[in-house]
Amino acid sequence: MPPNTSHDMSSTNAQTAQFRQRDPAAAPRLLLALTFLLLLWPGLHYSELDLSVLFDSDSSSAMGALLGNAWPPAHDQAFLELLWHSTLETLAIAIAGIALALPVALLAALLATRALSRAALHQNGSPALAGRLLRWPLRALLILLRSVPEIVWALLLVRAVGLGPSAGVLAIAISYSGMLGKVFMEIFESVDQRPARALVGAGAPRLMAFLYGILPNAAAEMLSYTVYRWECALRASVVMGFVGAGGLGQQLELSLRMFAGDEVLTILLVFLLLVLLADQLSRLLRKRLV
Amino acid sequence: MKRVPQTPRPPLRAAGILILLALMVAVVAAIRFLALDFSGVMEPVSLQQMREYFVQFLQPDLTASHLQAIGNAALETLGMSAIGTLLAAVFGVCLSLPAAGYFGRVAQHCARGLLNILRAIPELVWAALMVLAAGLGPNAGTLALALHTTGVLGRLFAETLENTPTGPADALRGSGGSRITAFCYGTLPTLWPQWLAYTLYRWENNIRMSSVLGFVGAGGLGQMLYIHLSLFQQAQAASVILTMLLLVFAVDSLSLWLRQRYLAR
């Protein structure tokens, strides 16, 4: 037996011994899993989970009544006319809401952005203290507007301006001006800053610096994001109807309350179709505009 | 004299201009259709009423008993979102295997159709349906979140399943491993981190969502807000809204911190 074989053997043994060492990630993983389980236990208590209700929906229960007359979907003339009107209303709420949000968002983004700061030219891109202090409350306002969910705005506004689509339009306008404003501001600050800086440095008014230095680079992204948000607003306006803000959602809520399963089914089908069409349209628009 | 190379003339974007015109027409038509008329709202009397209404929100009710009720509702909201997401992850895995084509084409189309339907119906509509099926309370909200999120996660899981490299699983099959072994040791390890990331991301979304599901009676902070607003108790409603905001900010900053700590490396 040559002497180097035993040497090889011992080194393989050392290697297997090394492999048998415990998994270094075992302790943190175990700890994480235990924390999860500990957190989930009260979650199970608070959520009062009971899956069995899904399966014992006999015909005496509300769900049974709803499912019982769900087929065929409602298709009488009067209901379809009503549905057509609600669908148009939903579409119009989304469009008008975004149209109201857009100018507010643009103005807020222009005021809050750092990209057009004169002082930033000489100070390595950081604006003057006064400018920062003035921009801060505006940024906070934008955060507040978009952090309250749109349906909460709708609920508040239904009580302020009354039931109907105007509450929905205002709710979308308020929360989406916050969202669009923040994103516009970020787009202004993320495009190439050199044209705008050159213009500001050469003494151009800041609105001109924006129009000629920033807007050409930012317009495509801004449009594409706005169209995407319109699609979101369409979905949101359907949901907002549930608190009385008009459109398909309000119709759906009424039909649900009357246990009219066939109407619920028709409305859901129309809603799915609407979302699908909006998705296609928004894809087409984004491709053409960008 | 050197000639400056001419830059090509930018194309006239007639289509773009037409689209913009169409958009403007759509906006005008929408405002006409809704007959939006804010002149009634802008009258001094109604402006005064509106100001009185919104000023009442500036004095949130911070008494101990109300805060305790809010804390309870917030825990309910968190519990609903956590259990709903967990259920959705389990069902999503179950549906993603057929949806990725593991059990033949027929099962694939059925599973995809089911996932599409689950995903297309918004959480709030599911919640309204579940309140009918399961009664008022957080159980309905949990089920609604689980149903919608199953659709979302199932599709995402199926996509990762389809895009994962088959090499390791093929090797295990080739060396005589069973299908289950090949899946567990060849496919699952590469998928696992991505599935976990998707699930956590949806949980974040669901926390936000579960705080408003209560508007249709599905428990949590939303139900509390709805009740207080219906009773015209603006001060109590204001503190519920503040709690919602705090919850959203806490979740946002926690997820940002986790992302920077664990994903930036």
A88–B contact, CB cutoff 8 A: yes
Alpha helices by DSSP H, listed for B56-137, are 64-99, 105-120, 123-134
Residue A166: its chain B contacts at CB < 8 A? 34, 36, 38, 41
B189 chain-A contacts, CB cut-off 8 A: none
Q: Does some domain include residue B33?
A: no
Read off the tokens for A54.
């899904």
Chain B residues within an 8 Å CB radius of A155: 215, 225-226, 229
Nearest Cβ partner of A42 from B41, B79, B141?
A: B79
Give the gap in angstroms from C-alpha A47 to the nearest C-alpha of chain B: 5
Lowest mean pLDDT among A47-56, B96-105, B118-127, B163-172: A47-56
Chain A residues within 8 A of B248 when measuring between CB atoms: 147
Rounded Cα distance between B262 and A244, Å, is 43
Q: What is the ipTM of this complex?
A: 0.80
Q: Please give the biggest Cα pair distance in chain B.
A: 88
Can you give the length of chain B in residues?
265
pLDDT of residue B230 exceeding 90, the answer is no
In a domain, B56, yes or no: no
pLDDT band at A14 (very low <50, low <70, confident <90, very high): low
Longest dimension (CA), chain A: 99
| Structural tokens at position B55 | 């000023």
Distance CA A53, CA A30 (A): 34
> A91 touching B, CB under 8 A?
yes
| Residue B157 scores a pLDDT above 90 | yes
Rounded distance between C-alpha atoms, residue B80 and residue A133, angstroms? 40
**Separation CA A226–CA A232 (nearest Å):** 10
Q: What is the C-alpha to C-alpha distance for residues A172 and A234, in angstroms, rounded to an integer?
A: 10
Q: Are B179 and B173 in contact (CB under 8 A)?
A: yes
Of A252, A251, A263, the residue nearest A76 (C-alpha): A263
Contact between A145 and A70 under an 8 Å Cβ cutoff? The reply is no
- The angle, 0 to 180 degrees and rounded to 10, between the axes of the packed helices B105-120 and B64-99 is 160
Q: What percent of chain B has pLDDT over 70?
A: 92
Helix axes A129-147, B234-263, angle to 10 degrees: 110
Which residue range is the domain that position B198 belongs to? Answer: 64-263
Query: How does pLDDT run across A82-101, given as a tens digit for each residue?
Result: 899 999 999 999 999 999 99
Tell me which H or E stretch contains A76: none
In a domain, B152, yes or no: yes
Cα A244 to chain center, whole Å?
21
Under a CB-based contact definition with an 8 Å cutoff, are residues B199 and B153 in contact? Answer: yes
For residue B248, give how far its alpha carbon lies from the nearest alpha carbon of chain A (Å): 7
E strands, A121-280, are none
**Across the interface, do B134 and A50 touch by the CB < 8 Å criterion?**
yes
Which residue has tokens 């209560």?
A: B214
CATH value at residue B161 = 1.10.3720.10
Asked if A261 is an interface residue toward chain B (Cβ–Cβ < 8 A), one would say: no
* pLDDT at site A5: 46
CA-based nearest distance A283→chain B, Å: 13
Q: Is B4 a residue whose pLDDT tops 80?
A: no
Q: Which of A236-240, B11-15, B236-240 has the lowest mean pLDDT?
A: B11-15
Number of domains in chain B: 1
Q: Give CA–CA dist B258/B175, Å, rounded.
A: 40
Instruction: Nearest chain A residue to B238 by CA: give it.
Output: A156
Q: Is A268 on the interface with B (CB under 8 A)?
A: yes
Write out pLDDT tens, residues A170-179.
999 999 999 9
Asked, for residue B50, whether it belongs to a domain, the answer is no
Question: Tell me: the pLDDT tens digits for A240-249?
Answer: 888 888 888 8
Q: Which CATH architecture has domain A77-289?
A: Orthogonal Bundle (1.10)
Domain positions in chain A? 77-289
Please name the residues in contact with A236: beta carbons below 8 A apart, sequence gap of 6 or more.
A94, A150, A151, A172
Interface residue A169 vs chain B (CB under 8 A): yes
Q: Is A179 on the interface with B (CB under 8 A)?
A: no
Residue A44: what residue type? L
Cα four-point dihedral sign A262, A266, A271, A273: positive
Cis amide leading into A216 (omega within 30): no
CA B29 to chain centroid, in Å, comes to 31
Cα–Cα dist A144/A109, whole Å: 15
Please report whether residue B6 resides in a domain.
Answer: no
**Contact between B138 and A46 using a beta-carbon 8 Å cutoff:** yes
The yes-or-no verdict on residue A21 having pLDDT over 80 is no
Q: What span, in angstroms and rounded, lies between the C-alpha atoms of B221 and B207?
A: 11
SS3 state of residue B5: coil
Q: Which residues contact A193 (CB under 8 A, 6 or more apart)?
A: A115, A125
* Mean pLDDT across B55-62: 83
Name the more confident of B84 and A114: B84
The average pLDDT across B164-170 equals 88
User: Residues B210-218: what's their mean pLDDT?
Assistant: 88
The answer to whether A238 and A227 are in contact (CB under 8 A) is no
Cβ separation of A47 and B79 shorter than 8 Å? Answer: yes
Q: Which residues of A touch B151 (CB under 8 A)?
A: none
Q: For residue range A23-69, list pLDDT tens digits in order.
A: 666 777 788 788 878 877 888 878 777 777 666 655 456 676 777 77
Sort out which chain B residues have CB atoms less than 8 A from A39's CB and list them: 82
Angle at A100 between CA A99 and CA A101, to 5 degrees: 95
Q: pLDDT (tens digit, 9 = 90+) per residue, A257-272? A: 888 888 888 999 999 8
pTM, to two decimals:
0.80
Please, what is the Cα angle at A211 between A205 and A214, to 5 degrees? 105
Mean pLDDT score, B34-56:
78
**8 A C-beta contact, residue A235 and residue B119:** no
In this predicted structure, the answer to whether residue B114 has a pLDDT above a threshold of 90 is yes
Closest by Cβ to A242, choosing from B82, B137, B216: B216
